[in-house]
A and B are shown apart, each in its own frame.
Chain A
Amino acid sequence: MNRYPFWRRSLAATVLVLAVMARAAAAGGIQLPAYQQIQLKNGATLVLLEKHDVPLVAFSAALRGGLVTEPAEKNGVASLTSQLLQKGAGERDAKAFAEAVAAVGGVFDVSANLEYLGLSGEFMARDTDLMISLLADVLRRPHLDQAEFDKLRNRAIQGLAGMKDSDARGLVGIYARALVFGNHPYARSDTGSEASLARVSHQDAKEYARDNLSPERLLLVIAGDFDAGSMRDKMEKALGGWTSVGAKTPQLPAAGRVPGGRVLLVDKPGATQTYFWIGNIGVSRSDPDKVAIDLVNTLFGGRFTSMLNTALRIESGLTYGAHSNVDMPSQPGTVAMQSYTATETTIEAVDLALEQLKGLRTKGLDEAQLRSGKTYRQGLFPMGFETAKMLAGQLLSLKFYGLDDSNVNDYARDMEAVSAEKAAAVISRVYPGLDDLVYVFIGNSEAIGEQLETYGKVTRMSITDPDWTASEE
């Protein structure tokens, strides 16, 4: 049993860009190692970073598009297509592809994300040529086989049933995104729903692949134990003849905040615990105050001694964990508080969370809190840049959002410079007031349904419903 559920050892996964050493290492934190950025003639962007401490090579790639380029009503096609890429490519069928990766102890993952299809992996340095050929096959020569598609789709639909039988921590945010974004593409879930997956055909996957697998959409970062000159030659050879199909990525509008006082209750019969999400729409990745937002969210709900975790766990024992998130994609994402508690303490825990939000907005953060939060972020920052895999992920994130190296190299300084006034401005701008909140609950409807009306008009659905939204909506 881990003591604390969401301080993860893999700091590289943190959505917000982190911080550098200041007080602890006054010398000035860390700098990104030297790397090369290359634009191939076909528009693909390649970033190469050598790191020789262990004999591993990692890659992290993004094909611009992701969920937002799915046709409406076909949520899940991005995920199915990304998985299908590994189910046969180049000379290998699905089994041979899996064997080729495992035979050398490699890792090759695909994922569908809000704004891109992700490819990542790690191989022993001696297997670098194999890694390149697998990557090139997946990008340029996927089989997109019908029988494999059918299996993947069935499994995806069946897997959702299993997810719903599990701890609901991972589900509450999916329902919330569907609710607050409504018809905006950001409402889509990574997996799709049982209902939307059933509408996705093999033809849809082929069309999605045709439009999204294109060199000008590719950003590929390779980091690890290799010679950059030789790697560059190999990659130019592997991807050079790949031609663009010219499909444009859509320009999305920013979604505005939705009216507060909406409550969605997802009934999970027999649940002894209520999972809740309280929030609305927040800010985008290009927000000029992202360092200050990082600081404020750390203190509000981003670390063990945060305001939320102190109130709901440390001082009251109501939950194993309470936290807040500021999701920052290209257009404004969500800002939310999340926790879970025994069915009978649902209202007590929610009210306590609301009290913390009210406290944040009315009293703000004092100098001692800000000092502590800055040193915390600065102190842990280097741990997100330790391995080739982490560096590849960090560089991908910077380049994908068009951020320059100063976001890493100057982070310690920028964090240090966040003023109390800036923090206060961020609080009132980013965190919704109590009247602007949307609530999502997963729990035992019979036990908690009526009580939830205190927060607004309650819409109900069942966890076994095949969509992420209530049908009456």
Chain B
Amino acid sequence: MFRYLVRLLPGLALLLCATSGHARDALAGSENIQSRTLENGLKVIVWPDQDIPNVAWYHWVRAGARNEHPGITGLSHFFEHMMFNGTSKREPGEFDRIMEANGGANNAYTSSDVTVYTDWVPGAALELNFELESDRFQNLAFVEEVVNSERGVVYSERRSSVDNQSAGKLLEQVNATAFVAHPYQFPVIGWPSDIENWKMQDLQQYFRTYYAPNNTTLVIVGAVQPDQVFALAEKYFGPISTQPAPEPVRTVEPPQNGQRRLEVFDTAQAPILAVAFHIPQADHADTAALTLAMDVLGEGSSSRLYQRLVEQEQLAVEVFAFKDEGFDPGLAWIFAMLPPDGDLQRTEQVLFEELDKMGSEVLLPGELEKARNIQMANFWRKLATIDGKADLLGTYEVFYGDYGKMLDVPAHYAGVSPEQVKDVVARVFRRANSTLGLLIPEAAEQEEGE
């Protein structure tokens, strides 16, 4: 779902769905969730929860790397940074200084699909937060000097997440190879030459188009009352004008009819195998079965791939399996981290043996129940915090079209049969549907004095 975030942190995929059970009945307080859409199109969803005196604020903007094109790749992410760098009313840095001085903190993230602005503030600072947030959505400043300084920050981020780690380098190349048409091929951080060359007008155009109230959804959970939130939303966000809806992403990735392979050489010690398979978009009927299949394959040390590759054959040191859940068809990923001098060929062979087996034989007794329980427990863990609740509500509203579906997801998992899992595995985890990347270590050049 969080394409880039998840891809950078394999194995730490945020799991957002539930399984068997009766969440709607059991979910204390969910009957208090309310929503309202302002005249300008901004939808506001509120879940009052007085457990702690704080508020989680998730503002979802439907803009990410899929809305980019060559020349402006990385702009969505860069924009995320620029949203903290001043308005016509406030100097760069004032937003953070004021929020922190009032007991709040914030962050933001960009994926291929969305950009999300997150704040955690004391309930007493709610109105101030509305003022701060509406100011930047209304009056963002575009100052050349600030833009150039922030380019340096983004470069540093790129160096850490891609350029100086071999897994990041491999992931970027496999992703760019898996898509030949769809903009999911662009790295969220952007290609270096684009990071250097965005123009001021690109930024201004982007802001007008995507940061309009009718293209965003605001979720607020915590020590608030819905009526109070709606009144503040009207007061602070109501005056922001609606904009024409952004152009839809029209490009559909054509079917892949044959494996693509690539090699990345890197000054490193350990080889890595990465395989990406095309999968449907988040709201597709296959998603529940695929989520459960991925858990059986790669979640934890009891999973099939871990048991075979790490424990039994000791071909890999670690295995990760994770997938995208976005607006458009994305990728399911499997990473095998090999030991130095590890056998890439044999690892590939064993990996596909396991995938073929799972696509041709029905799951073992207990495996499906295990995957459901993993999802159910993760669901409850998310619901234990105001932050997790805000994240869940926004995810279902934005990617599934209705925040209320969050409460129905247990039923979706309960309805998945072992045959459905086998069927989806057989369709997705095929060689012809895969892009396979090999990270091949190169020895460092001999240095002086050695």
Contacts and interface: CB of A to CB of B under 8 A. Distances in A.
Contacts of B380: 54-56, 124
Contact of B163 (A99, A101, A104, A272): A272
A25 B222 CA distance: 14
Contact of A94 (B53, B102, B311): B311
A375 B227 CA distance: 27
A151 B165 CA distance: 26
A383 B161 CA distance: 28
Interface in A313-370: 313-320, 340-342
Given A159-B317, A305-B96, A319 B81 contact: no
A340 B160 contact: yes
A446 B361 CA distance: 55
Interface stretch (A1-9, A71-79, A138-146, A252-260): A1-9
Q: Which of A21, A23, A314, A318 has the most CB of B within 10 A?
A: A314
Nearest to A29: B53
Contacts of A378: 103
Contacts of B384: 53-54, 56, 386-389
B122 interface: yes
Interface stretch (B32-40, B209-217, B234-242, B300-308): B300-308
Contact of B92 (A56, A167, A314, A388): A314
B139 to A, nearest CB: 19
Contacts of A154: 314, 339
A387 B156 contact: no
B51 A53 contact: yes
A372 interface: yes
B294 interface: no
Nearest to A104: B373
A313 B153 contact: yes
B269 A161 contact: yes
A82 to B, nearest CB: 14
A24 B103 contact: yes
A310 B105 CA distance: 15
A304 interface: yes
Contacts of A56: 377, 380-381, 384
Contacts of B369: 103
Interface string B72-107: 000001001100100000001100110011111111
Interface stretch (A227-235, A263-271, A427-435): A263-271
A115 interface: no
Interface string A6-40: 01010000000000010111000010000000000
| Closest A-B pairs by Cβ, 3 of them | A379-B103, A317-B152, A105-B377
Given A7-B105, A24-B122, A378-B103, 14 more contacts: A7-B107, A9-B107, A24-B123, A99-B302, A105-B376, A158-B340, A269-B267, A270-B267, A305-B97, A315-B149, A316-B149, A382-B53, A389-B384, A446-B447
Interface of A: 1-5, 7, 9, 21, 23-25, 30, 53-56, 94-95, 98-99, 101-107, 122-124, 151, 154-155, 158-159, 161-162, 164-169, 267-273, 303-305, 310, 313-320, 340-342, 371-372, 375-376, 378-380, 382-383, 385-389, 445-446, 464
Interface of B: 4-5, 8, 26, 28, 51-54, 77, 80-81, 84, 92-93, 96-97, 100-110, 120-125, 148-157, 159-161, 163-168, 188-189, 266-270, 299-303, 307, 310-311, 314, 317-318, 337, 339-340, 342, 366, 369-370, 372-378, 380-381, 383-387, 441, 444-445, 447-448
